[in-house]
Amino acid sequence: MTALNPPALIKLTEASLALSLLFFWPLRSVAQHPASKADTHIPRACTFLTSNYEVEKDDPQEERSYAASENRFFGLWCTAASSSLENREAAADEMAACWKKLWYRDDPFNAAFHETGSDDLLAMMAITSKVPKPLIADSAFMHDWLEDCRDRCFMIYGEDESGEDRLHLVSLRNEALDHLKKDSAAKPILEMLKTATIR
């Protein structure tokens, strides 16, 4: 066997290293940067919705329908789950329709939902960048939601010594303003957001 001189040995070592990088580097890159995580953008407004809206079996139909619609919306818009834009927009419209039914139901009256429910629709629109069809189709519904959101969407409940709640609400308002500006149907919503005060 012929002995290799030092320069030849160096060249052989470099070639071996290059081949090892060629074969192993792509696999290592995929392992370090999974596409399902690195390429997925979750809107910040998703933090205003719950990933698992729970209701009791004996709760009225409107509560159960709204819970199911919000859970479906969250799964399609706020996770890495793949779905067509058509399915995601249909989930948004369904959530808005179920919200409307629960909002206008008087017996039994859901006080907790009426106190904090309006920000669900605002968060949903900040996520989708679009006004849902039920709000567009019913001007009375749009008016009632706008008035309630103006009063309640930016209200801080309890103490906020750290200022985190205020920053969270500012983030929601800014995200909604930015995302809805290209939707012509959002004009009254944008006007409301520009004058809304966080208190």
SS3 state of residue 43? coil
pLDDT of residue 40: 58
Question: What is the maximum alpha-carbon separation in the chain?
Answer: 96
Task: Tell which residue, 129, 137, 113, has the closest CA to residue 65.
Answer: 113
Sequence-distant (≥ 6) Cβ neighbours of residue 181 within 8 angstroms:
190
At 16-48, the pLDDT tens digits run: 434 333 333 333 222 222 333 333 578 999 999
Closest listed residue to residue 130, CA positions, set 85, 80, 82: 85
pTM strictly above 0.85: no
CA gap 74, 117 in Å, rounded = 15
Residues 176, 189 contacting (CB under 8 angstroms) = yes
The CA distance from 176 to 126, in Å, is: 4
pLDDT of residue 32: 29
Q: Which tokens sit at 54?
A: 């729970």
* 3-class DSSP state of 81: coil
Q: What interhelical angle do 61-77 and 85-103 show, nearest 10? A: 150
pLDDT at site 6: 47
**C-alpha distances out from residue 46 to 4, 41, 52, 190, Å:** 64, 11, 12, 19
Look at residue 199 in the predicted model and tell me its pLDDT: 84
pLDDT value, residue 161: 74
Task: Kindly give the confidence (pLDDT) of every residue in the chain, 199 residues in length, as a single tens digit, with 9 standing for 90 and above.
Answer: 444 454 444 444 444 434 333 333 333 222 222 333 333 578 999 999 987 778 888 999 999 999 999 999 999 999 998 899 999 999 999 999 999 999 999 999 999 999 999 999 999 999 999 999 999 999 999 999 999 999 999 999 888 778 888 999 999 999 999 999 999 999 999 999 999 888 8
Give CA angle at 20 (17, 21), nearest 5°: 90
Return the pLDDT at 50: 82
Residue among 97, 92, 93 at smallest CA distance from 73: 92
Compute the distance between CA of residue 128 and CA of residue 42 in angstroms, rounded to an integer.
Answer: 11
Cα distance from N-terminal residue to C-terminal residue, the chain: 85
Distances (CA, A) of 8 to 5, 11, 16, 18, 22: 6, 5, 12, 15, 21
